């Protein structure tokens, strides 16, 4: 049974494991004050092209979102997010448990735009309502779509005009930046966003995300917030070692490109068989619409999520490839797909 359920089923890239083993018996300063974390932060600043940013390492995405968003907002302030956003759908109300409402915006392709943001602002007009203060997006989105540079520039410009913060969830940022359709650079995010994070957990690390705070307004006392939310790891060097290894050369992007390449193989094979997709995704998440009988056959050898029913006889599934997805496994899936279709026809 080979899994296409997610991009964190495997452990970590061997280079990261080797680096962790090599440093295992060293004595390091705690809570992110170690030399590895400091070097990782320096490398990330170089990659982003800015020195006046603060970077903090976290263990996971939900913890990053929870700590950052609750720290950035005053008690009466709220977040505007697409209805597919991770903080709305897959984080157990973590943000709202801190008292911050999330204003959900219905979107068709996972992406929010300035018109959507304006609707939220126009319907929250006085002190009897929560005050929209932060726009949350993810790149790629939960359904695999990505923002173009022009789209992100428009959102960023509008947020500045309306005195809103722009926050980008980058759990799968590597996949977005390495997409064949992408025109954004990592350095663009440092200029356009007030804060964003670079996901490691879903791109070769055992665990870890790097939060980048660009706006000076959001930097003060942030480590206090981290400690309060349980995010300051005593053995913080574990995170630093991994991000140093990912960014000392292009490993982070090499791994993301591999995940995308494996997804493209699947996409082309499915398209060649005449199947459509629920959404257009140029990243490592695919949502093909398949007959239920074919889904049942594929589930005999492969695991994946059934995303949604399309009609009585068809459903959309989610196939996710990773930095570690074996090309042989992809070709086996394609071979079985064709075999099941041929057998059904005969």
Q: Are residues 305 and 241 in the same domain?
A: no
Sequence-ordered strand ranges (E) for 252-323: 285-286, 289-291, 302-303, 305-309, 314-320
Whether 170 and 193 share a structural domain: yes
* Predicted TM-score of the model (pTM): 0.97
Backbone angles phi, psi at 340, to 5 degrees: -65, -40
Distance CA 148, CA 62 (A): 25
Cα separations in angstroms, 9 against 83, 141, 256, 293:
26, 20, 15, 26
Selection from 152, 126, 136, 125 nearest residue 100 by Cα: 136
- From 212, 229, 250, the end of a domain falls on 250
Same domain flag for 153 and 279: no
Angstrom distance (rounded) from CA 274 to CA 269:
9
SS3 213: strand
| Whether residue 345 has pLDDT greater than 80 | no
Of the ranges 19-23, 279-283, 341-345, which one carries the lowest mean pLDDT score? 341-345
- Biggest CA–CA distance in the chain, Å, is 67
For 131, the enclosing helix (H) or strand (E) is: strand 131-138
Same domain, 258 and 214: no
Q: Between β-strands 314-320 and 289-291, what pairing exists: parallel, antiparallel or unpaired?
A: antiparallel
Does the structure show a pLDDT above 70 at 343?
yes
Tokens for 341? 């279709």
Do 40 and 121 reside in the same domain of the chain? yes
Give the residue among 249, 251, 281 at the shortest CA–CA distance from 266: 281
CATH number for position 297: 3.90.1150.10
Residues 67 and 179 in one domain: yes
Domain boundary among 250, 269, 303: 250
- Is residue 69 domain-shared with residue 194, that is, in the same domain? yes
Residues β-bridged to residue 57: 210
* Tens-place pLDDT, residues 281-306: 999 999 999 999 999 999 999 999 99
Q: Are residues 188 and 49 in the same domain?
A: yes
CATH number (domain holding residue 232)? 3.40.640.10
Statement to judge: residues 322 and 298 lie in one domain = yes
Band (344; pLDDT cuts 50, 70, 90): confident
Give the integer Cα–Cα distance in Å for 238 and 75: 33
203-252 pLDDT per residue, tens? 999 999 999 999 999 999 999 999 999 999 999 999 999 999 999 999 99
Domain count, the chain: 2
pLDDT recorded at residue 30: 96
Verify that 33 and 120 share a domain, yes or no.
yes
Chain center to CA of 61: 8
Last residue of a domain, one of 192, 217, 250: 250
**3-class state of residue 302 by DSSP:** strand
Q: Tell me: the pLDDT tens digits for 124-142?
A: 999 999 999 999 999 999 9
Determine contact, residues 289/270, Cβ cutoff 8 Å: no
Tokens of 74: 């005053």
| Cβ-based neighbour number of residue 26 at 10 Å | 11
β-pairing verdict for 195-199 and 165-169 = parallel
**Average confidence score pLDDT of the chain:** 97
pLDDT digits (tens, 9 = 90+) for 139-181: 999 999 999 999 999 999 999 999 999 999 999 999 999 999 9
Q: For residue 310, give its domain range.
A: 2-6+252-345
Identify whether residues 198 and 256 lie together within a single domain. no
265 and 131 co-located in one domain: no
**pLDDT tens digits for 79-105?**
999 999 999 999 999 999 999 999 999
346 pLDDT higher than 80: no
Q: What is the CA radius of gyration of the chain?
A: 21
Tokens representing 11? Answer: 């452990």
Residue that is written with structure tokens 């060649």 in the block = 272
CA-wise closest residue to 36 among 181, 274, 208, 155: 208
Write out pLDDT tens, residues 40-83: 999 999 999 999 999 999 999 999 999 999 999 999 999 999 99
Whether pLDDT at 108 is above 90? no
* Length of the chain in terms of residues written: 346
| DSSP calls for 156-196 | HHHHHHTT-EEEEE-TTHHHHHTSTT----HHHHHHH-SEE
């Amino acid at each position: 049974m080979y899994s296409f359920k997610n991009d964190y089923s495997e452990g970590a890239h061997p280079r990261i494991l080797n680096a962790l083993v090599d440093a295992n018996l060293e004595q390091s300063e705690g809570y992110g004050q170690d030399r590895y974390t400091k070097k990782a932060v320096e490398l990330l600043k170089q990659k982003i092209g800015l020195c006046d940013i603060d970077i903090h390492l976290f263990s996971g995405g939900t913890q990053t979102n929870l700590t950052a968003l609750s720290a950035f907002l005053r008690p009466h302030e709220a977040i505007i997010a697409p209805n597919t956003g991770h903080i709305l759908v897959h984080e157990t109300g973590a943000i709202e448990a801190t008292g911050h409402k999330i204003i959900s915006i219905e979107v068709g392709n996972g992406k929010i735009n300035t018109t959507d943001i304006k609707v939220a602002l126009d319907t929250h007009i006085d002190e009897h309502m929560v005050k929209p203060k932060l726009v949350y997006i993810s790149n790629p989105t939960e359904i695999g779509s990505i923002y173009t540079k022009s789209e992100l520039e428009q959102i960023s410009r509008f947020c500045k005009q309306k005195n809103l913060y722009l926050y980008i969830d980058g759990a799968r940022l590597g996949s977005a930046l390495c997409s064949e359709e992408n025109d954004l650079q990592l350095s663009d995010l440092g200029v356009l966003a007030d804060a964003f994070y670079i996901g490691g957990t879903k791109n070769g690390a055992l665990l870890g995300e790097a939060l980048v705070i660009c706006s000076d307004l959001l930097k003060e006392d942030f480590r206090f917030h981290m400690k309060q939310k349980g995010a300051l790891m005593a053995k913080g060097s574990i995170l630093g070692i991994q991000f140093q290894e990912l960014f000392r050369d292009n490993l982070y992007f090499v791994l993301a490109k591999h995940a995308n390449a494996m997804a493209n193989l699947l996409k082309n094979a499915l398209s060649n068989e005449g199947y459509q997709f629920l959404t257009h995704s140029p990243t490592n998440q695919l949502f093909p619409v398949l007959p239920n009988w074919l889904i049942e056959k594929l589930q005999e050898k492969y695991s994946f999520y059934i995303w949604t029913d399309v009609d009585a006889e068809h459903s959309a599934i989610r196939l996710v490839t990773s930095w570690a997805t074996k090309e042989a496994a992809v070709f086996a899936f394609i071979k079985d797909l064709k075999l099941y279709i041929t057998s059904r026809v005969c």
